[in-house]
C-alpha cells in the first residue's frame, strides 16, 4: 500500500556558482589542468604550430613554406573552415590539434563569461526510514496520533523518529518547511498526492516535493471512525475493501485533483508552486572548465604527442638533408682528387 510519508525530495538542485561577464578574469584552482592546457593552446597556436608547419616538408599545402601562410592555414583549421585535410600523418595530427584547440578554447572562454548551459547536481532521495533517521530532518504531522503510532512500532528507526516529531499548526506553513528541506511531513498518501498535484506541481510536471513509496508506516489508504468493539466494524471493513478494489476511491481522488485546479478560492489558501510568492532559489551549477577536465587532459596529451612527432619529423628531415649534403661533398672531393 502507499506509505503516508511526505518530505522535501533530496534531489533538489544544489547551489552552484554562476559566472558573470566581469572585467577581471575568473581564476580556477591550480590543482586542475585547465590553465596549463590553456597556456599550451596559446603557445601552440601562436608559436609552435606555425613554426613546425613551416619546417615540415609537406607536399600538401604550398603556403606552409611561408610563416604567415602557415599561420593563416592553422587559423583556418582552428576555426573549422579549412577546405581539405592534408595527406601526410604529421600534418593530419597538426590539423586535429588545431580543431580540438578551437573547440576547447571556445568552451573555456564561453563558460568563464556566461553560463550558457546548466547541469543539475542530483542527490539520491530518501528511500527508507533508516535514511530519514540518520538525517537531521524533523518529523511533522497533523495530530498526536502519528507520534503514538511511531512510538509503538517495533522498528528502532521509526521509534527514533518519534523523538523528533512535532504537531504542525497548519498545512500551508508546514509544507513551506517541507519545500525548504527543514522537515518531513507524515500524512495520508492520497492527501499528499492531492497537495502535490494541485498546488505544488508546475506546468512542466516538476515538483519540489517527493513521496517516499519504498517503505510504509500505515498500510491503509482509507480509514473510518467507529465505536470500539462495534459490531459494524466487519461490515465497514468489507465496504472499504470493495471500494478500494473497484477503483471508486482512486477515481474520486483523480476527479478531485482535476476539479480543484479550477477552484481559485482554494488555491489562495496555499502558497502554490505556480504562485508568484513561491519563488524557489535557482540552485544550478554552470557548465565550466572544471567539467571539461577529461577533454583538457586528452587535449594536453594529444598536443604533447603531436609535438614529439613534429620534432622527430624535423630531426629526420635534417638528418637526411645533412647526410645527402655530406655525400655530395664527399663525392665532389673524390672527383677533384681523381682529376688531380
What pLDDT score was predicted for residue 110? 60
What pLDDT score was predicted for residue 217? 76
What pLDDT score was predicted for residue 258? 67
What distance in Å separates the CA atoms of residue 273 and residue 284, rounded to the nearest whole number? 18
pLDDT band for position 22 (cuts 50, 70, 90): very low
Residue 27 has pLDDT above 70, yes or no: no
Local structure of residue 152 (DSSP, 8 states):
T
Higher pLDDT: 53 or 31? It is 53
Higher pLDDT: 174 or 67? It is 174
What pLDDT score was predicted for residue 107? 66
Give the least confident one: 17-26, 132-141, 256-265: 17-26
Helix or strand (DSSP H, E) at 40 = helix 34-43
138: helix, coil or strand?
strand
pLDDT band for position 52 (cuts 50, 70, 90): low
> Quick one: average pLDDT of 139-155?
84
Average pLDDT, the chain: 66
String of DSSP letters for 277-303 = T-------EE--GGGGHHHHHHHHHHH
pLDDT band for position 157 (cuts 50, 70, 90): confident
Predicted TM-score (pTM) of this structure = 0.39
What pLDDT score was predicted for residue 84? 62
pLDDT digits (tens, 9 = 90+) for 278-333: 444 445 555 566 666 676 777 777 777 777 877 787 777 777 777 666 656 565 55
Rounded (10°) CA dihedral 191, 194, 197, 199: -90
Amino acid at each position: 500500500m502507499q506509505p503516508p510519508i511526505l518530505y522535501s525530495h533530496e534531489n533538489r538542485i544544489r547551489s552552484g556558482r554562476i559566472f558573470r561577464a566581469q572585467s577581471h578574469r575568473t581564476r580556477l584552482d591550480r590543482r586542475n589542468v585547465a590553465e596549463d592546457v590553456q597556456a599550451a593552446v596559446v603557445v601552440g597556436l601562436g608559436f609552435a604550430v606555425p613554426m613546425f608547419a613551416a619546417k615540415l616538408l609537406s607536399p600538401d599545402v604550398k603556403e606552409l613554406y611561408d610563416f604567415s601562410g602557415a599561420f593563416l592555414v592553422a587559423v583556418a583549421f582552428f576555426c573549422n573552415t579549412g577546405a581539405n585535410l592534408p595527406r601526410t600523418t604529421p600534418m593530419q595530427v597538426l590539423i586535429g590539434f588545431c580543431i580540438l584547440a578551437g573547440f576547447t578554447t571556445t568552451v573555456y572562454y564561453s563558460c568563464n563569461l556566461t553560463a550558457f548551459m546548466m547541469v543539475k547536481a542530483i542527490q539520491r532521495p530518501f528511500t527508507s526510514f533508516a535514511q530519514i533517521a540518520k538525517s537531521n530532518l524533523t518529523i511533522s504531522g497533523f495530530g498526536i496520533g502519528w507520534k503514538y503510532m511511531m512510538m509503538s512500532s517495533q522498528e528502532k528507526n521509526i521509534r527514533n523518529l518519534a523523538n523528533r516529531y512535532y504537531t504542525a499548526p497548519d498545512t500551508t506553513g508546514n509544507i513551506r518547511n517541507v519545500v525548504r528541506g527543514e522537515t518531513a511531513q507524515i500524512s495520508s498518501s492520497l492527501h499528499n498526492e492531492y497537495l502535490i498535484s494541485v498546488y505544488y506541481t508546475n506546468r512542466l510536471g516538476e515538483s519540489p516535493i517527493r513521496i517516499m513509496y519504498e517503505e510504509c508506516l500505515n498500510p491503509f489508504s482509507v480509514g473510518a471512525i467507529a465505536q470500539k468493539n462495534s459490531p459494524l466494524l466487519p461490515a465497514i471493513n468489507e465496504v472499504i475493501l470493495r471500494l478500494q478494489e473497484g477503483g471508486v476511491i482512486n477515481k474520486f481522488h483523480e476527479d478531485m485533483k482535476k476539479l480543484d485546479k479550477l477552484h481559485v478560492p482554494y488555491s489562495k489558501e496555499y502558497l502554490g508552486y505556480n504562485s508568484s510568492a513561491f519563488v524557489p532559489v535557482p540552485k544550478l551549477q554552470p557548465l565550466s572548465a572544471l567539467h571539461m577536465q577529461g577533454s583538457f587532459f586528452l587535449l594536453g596529451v594529444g598536443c604533447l604527442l603531436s609535438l614529439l612527432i613534429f620534432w622527430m619529423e624535423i630531426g629526420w628531415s635534417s638528418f637526411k638533408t645533412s647526410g645527402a649534403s655530406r655525400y655530395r661533398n664527399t663525392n665532389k672531393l673524390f672527383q677533384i682528387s681523381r682529376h688531380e
